[in-house]
A and B are shown apart, each in its own frame.
Chain A
């Protein structure tokens, strides 16, 4: 059971940005356009969503820095917490993103290429604003592996060991995404979420695969996640973050209503 002293479980829509619009794919591929950023942010703000994750999924691959002007514009409409990721590889990027209104930054590829980068963000801006994003895939025969560059490049890192390493480096949260489940709406990889949640004492955000309110519940109850992130469920179905929270609330999960 969730003790009374815990923070509320957060339900977080993930917005993936690519080529001037929001997209959603399946297993980090087959991208479909799902609308404009500003419109979506305004709707979520109006509906008092718990928190929004905005990921620019082409920045790293195109080797460009985050789009600060765009984040500035988004943050101006966003009176809710905003985590921004994609292309962040210098302290100056973090400083600028926080300045224009991001509350947290998500780093993925840059953390793998230089784990000390996570420590330097934590030392300068505090652990609470560093979300380490871990994308993983299960490989037949060799267990699970962390991938970088929006799921295109495999590494030798095991997600559980990597999460622990990132905690040591000063990460404040782990955003854990199953590439296999992403966009499939077949449910989270709760087994991996549970393993990572047990391995670290940081909040873990479950991501990749949620297709129903029950999947969100499983992420919390079975995966022990502190927050559940989802995209397809909110883009392609009638299900909403608010109804999701009512569902969780009815099943004794503490949420903000």
Chain B
């Protein structure tokens, strides 16, 4: 098993690599098409703005390499935080920008809903499952995961929403479409259940 962690200069790749290793797998940093080719799973981490993220991905031709590996070769894919948001068609953070477009949806800023919500949404919050999915094996619905974000991937198709979290209304905490997954929280920083989720992904 060789897990490719995409390195496009956008953040906490080292934490993700460490978490993958903690799950008993070996991770390689992937910054070009060649690095992705032989991987068994692909993880796209990332913190930062949507526009900067897409610039980082396009700069090294990673967008085409990802399309090839994930859409054509069907290598299981997990986007984390910004990496999940980039799955959408569009984002507006840092100017309207096209995303990878694998999941029908667009990235919107959280708007306080009259409950005194503070933005960014930082901290531990409850993830409630809406569907059964192998990604959540051995994780009970309603556990807390660690979030740190101001934007969410609003999905056009509810079928793609596997779990939700309440904050400023509710937003997709986990999205999935066949072998493509995205999580808005940070499994690599969510201790026991976060590592369990990563293990589940590596078993897909």
Contacts and interface: CB of A to CB of B under 8 A. Distances in A.
Interface of A: 3-10, 45, 48, 50-51, 72, 75-76, 78-82, 95, 98-104, 123-129, 172-173, 201-203, 226-227, 256
B197 to A, nearest CB: 12
A125 to B, nearest CB: 5
A104 B113 CA distance: 26
B119 interface: yes
Contacts of B191: 45, 48, 79-80
A202 B119 contact: yes
Contacts of A127: 120, 150
Contact of B116 (A3, A48, A103): A3
Given A6-B115, A81-B189, A103 B124 contact: no
Given A6-B117, A81-B148, 12 more contacts: A7-B121, A7-B123, A50-B123, A75-B15, A79-B194, A102-B12, A103-B186, A103-B189, A104-B148, A123-B52, A123-B94, A202-B120
Nearest to B14: A101
Contacts of A172: 120, 122, 148, 150
Contact of B14 (A3, A5, A72, A226): A72
B168 interface: yes
Given A95-B9, A125-B11, A126-B150, A227 B168 contact: no
B189 A128 contact: no
Contact of A99 (B11, B166, B186): B11
Interface in B58-112: 82, 93-94, 112
Interface in B2-32: 9-15, 18-19, 22
Interface of B: 9-15, 18-19, 22, 47-49, 52, 82, 93-94, 112-113, 115-125, 144, 146-150, 166-169, 186, 188-192, 194-195
Contact of B11 (A4, A8, A72, A98): A98
A201 B13 contact: no
Contacts of A4: 166
A128 B47 contact: yes
Contacts of B10: 125
Indicate the member of A76, A79, A101, A227 with the most B CB atoms within 10 Å.
A79
A201 B119 CA distance: 7
A125 B124 contact: no
Contacts of A81: 146, 148, 186, 189
Contacts of B149: 126, 128
Contact of B18 (A51, A95, A101, A227): A101
B148 A5 contact: no
B66 to A, nearest CB: 21
A72 B11 CA distance: 13
A203 B120 contact: yes
A48 to B, nearest CB: 5
A10 B15 CA distance: 21
B170 to A, nearest CB: 8
A79 B148 contact: no
B33 to A, nearest CB: 22
B4 to A, nearest CB: 17
Contacts of A100: 14
Nearest to B194: A79
B36 to A, nearest CB: 20
Contacts of A128: 47, 120, 122, 148-150
A8 B49 contact: no
16 contacts: A6-B115, A8-B144, A48-B192, A51-B146, A72-B14, A75-B14, A76-B18, A79-B22, A102-B12, A124-B48, A125-B11, A126-B49, A126-B82, A126-B149, A202-B118, A226-B118
A104 B186 CA distance: 13
Given A75-B18, A103-B12, A125-B47, A5 B144 contact: no
B9 A103 contact: no
